[in-house]
């Protein structure tokens, strides 16, 4: 029987997953059973997009709640993959810190992120000192997972709270849409015209043709952000920011692909049938969120 680095059986995890799938299938209406992969992917994607749009536009509180949940789930998936790569992260501390990052930035601004980082580092040092099995790389992975899934995502809190309702929500949604446009344009053009591999060892399906199309899609949506009241941004500035944002999205996608490849995973999880894990859907968003906040605030486009 296969064993994970922490001694727990991977066979037991597989059986538990199969039981959950069987239970969910039994409860599924007949008209939704035996759906094609494309149908499953569309339905799951529709639910995710609808939930994202509603939470972001409804209020600042629902946006923060959505980001807190996203940070916690993606951090859990991140640590699960790293455990299979012979790492022993402190999942509890990491997930709690990841969820606290958006909350702390919402209530305390950027100082809140500093406080959470210091508290997490101190807690991890105490854990490392008193738990003899912990290694320095485990401490590093624990901290990185929380910062990667929580701190980077907190950039959206800065963007959402910069403008009054409803424009703050529309601006944050625009950043989301630029990420989705980047992914969609890259997929559509890459799957049809892609011939030159972008990063064959890390993500074999990505092509330079899709990469360029994705950047164009991101730039187009950033130009639309100039129409939002309260945003002071010229078209040339939006084009540059859109290209930078698109580059960060691709980098985030490739980074998560590298993590999965090193850990031997095809998907980060199973929470989104047809898509994999939530981390698979948000990998581009993390770097785009913090980059967009830096560009918009640093460029004087929104108040802070």
* DSSP one-letter string for 72-135: HHHHHHHHHHHHTTT----HHHHHHHHHHHHHHHHHHTHHHHHHHHHHHHHHHHHHHHH-TT--
Any residues with CB less than 8 A from the CB of 8 and at least 6 apart, and which?
Answer: none
Q: Is residue 21 part of a domain?
A: no
What span, in angstroms and rounded, lies between the C-alpha atoms of 103 and 132? Answer: 32
pLDDT at 123 over 90: yes
DSSP 92-103: HHHHHHHHHHHH
Q: Is residue 30 part of a domain?
A: no
User: Given this model, what pLDDT does residue 278 score?
Assistant: 87
166, HSE (Cβ side, Cα atoms, 13 Å): 9
**CB 264, CB 218: distance < 8 Å:** no
Can you tell me the mean pLDDT for 137-150?
A: 94
Choice among 12-26, 73-87, 245-259 with the minimum mean pLDDT = 12-26
What span, in angstroms and rounded, lies between the C-alpha atoms of 173 and 196? Answer: 32
- Among the listed residues 94, 86, 113, the one whose alpha carbon sits nearest the alpha carbon of residue 262: 86
User: Given this model, what pLDDT does residue 277 score?
Assistant: 78
pLDDT at 34 over 70: no
pLDDT at 186 over 70: yes
Report which secondary-structure segment, H or E, holds 241: helix 235-263
pLDDT tier at 7 (50, 70, 90 boundaries)?
A: very low
Choice among 5-19, 216-230, 236-250 with the minimum mean pLDDT = 5-19
User: Given this model, what pLDDT does residue 15 score?
Assistant: 66
Q: Is residue 265 part of a domain?
A: yes
**CB 154, CB 67: distance < 8 Å:** yes
CB atoms within 10 A of CB 188: 14
**CB 153, CB 113: distance < 8 Å:** no
Q: Is residue 13 part of a domain?
A: no
3-class DSSP assignment, residue 291: helix
Provide the residue range defining the domain that includes 169. 39-299
User: Given this model, what pLDDT does residue 8 score?
Assistant: 46
Top pLDDT among 264 and 7 is at: 264
pLDDT at 274 over 80: no
Residue corresponding to tokens 């629902």: 62
Q: Is residue 162 part of a domain?
A: yes
Q: Is residue 63 part of a domain?
A: yes
Q: Share the mean pLDDT of the chain.
A: 85
Angle CA(229)–CA(101)–CA(231) in degrees, nearest 5? 10
Choice among 37-46, 143-152, 244-253, 279-288 with the minimum mean pLDDT = 37-46
Q: Is residue 287 part of a domain?
A: yes
pLDDT at 254 over 60: yes
Each residue's pLDDT tens digit, 82-108: 887 778 899 999 999 999 999 999 999
Which residues are registered as beta bridge partners of 170? none
Choice among 19-23, 129-133, 166-170, 195-199 with the minimum mean pLDDT = 19-23
**CB 90, CB 122: distance < 8 Å:** no
Q: Is residue 93 part of a domain?
A: yes
Number of domains in the chain: 1
């Amino acid at each position: 029987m296969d064993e994970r680095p922490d001694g727990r059986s991977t066979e037991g995890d597989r059986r538990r997953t199969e039981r959950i799938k069987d239970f969910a299938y039994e409860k599924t209406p007949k008209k939704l059973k035996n759906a094609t992969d494309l149908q499953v992917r569309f339905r799951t994607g529709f639910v995710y997009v609808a939930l994202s749009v509603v939470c972001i536009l409804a209020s600042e509180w629902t946006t923060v709640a959505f980001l807190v949940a996203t940070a916690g789930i993606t951090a859990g998936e991140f640590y699960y993959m790293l455990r299979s790569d012979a790492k022993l992260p402190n999942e509890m501390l990491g997930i709690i810190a990841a969820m606290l990052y958006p909350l702390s930035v919402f209530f305390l601004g950027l100082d809140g992120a500093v406080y959470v980082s210091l508290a997490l580092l101190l807690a991890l040092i105490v854990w490392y000192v008193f738990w003899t099995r912990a290694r320095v790389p485990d401490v590093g992975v624990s901290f990185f997972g929380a910062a990667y899934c929580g701190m980077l995502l907190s950039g959206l809190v800065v963007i959402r709270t910069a403008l009054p309702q409803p424009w703050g929500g529309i601006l944050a949604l625009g950043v989301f849409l630029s990420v989705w446009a980047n992914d969609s344009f890259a997929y559509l053009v890459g799957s049809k015209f892609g011939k030159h591999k972008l990063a064959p060892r890390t993500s074999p399906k990505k092509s330079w043709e899709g990469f360029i199309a994705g950047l164009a899609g991101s730039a187009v949506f950033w130009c639309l952000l100039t129409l939002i009241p309260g945003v002071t941004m010229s078209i040339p500035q939006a084009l540059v920011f859109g290209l930078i944002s698109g580059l960060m999205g691709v980098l985030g996608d490739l980074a998560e692909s590298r993590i999965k490849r090193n850990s031997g995973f095809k998907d980060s999880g199973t929470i989104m049938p047809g898509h994999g894990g939530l981390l698979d859907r948000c990998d581009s968003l993390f770097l785009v969120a913090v980059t967009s906040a830096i560009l918009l605030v640093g460029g004087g486009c929104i108040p802070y």
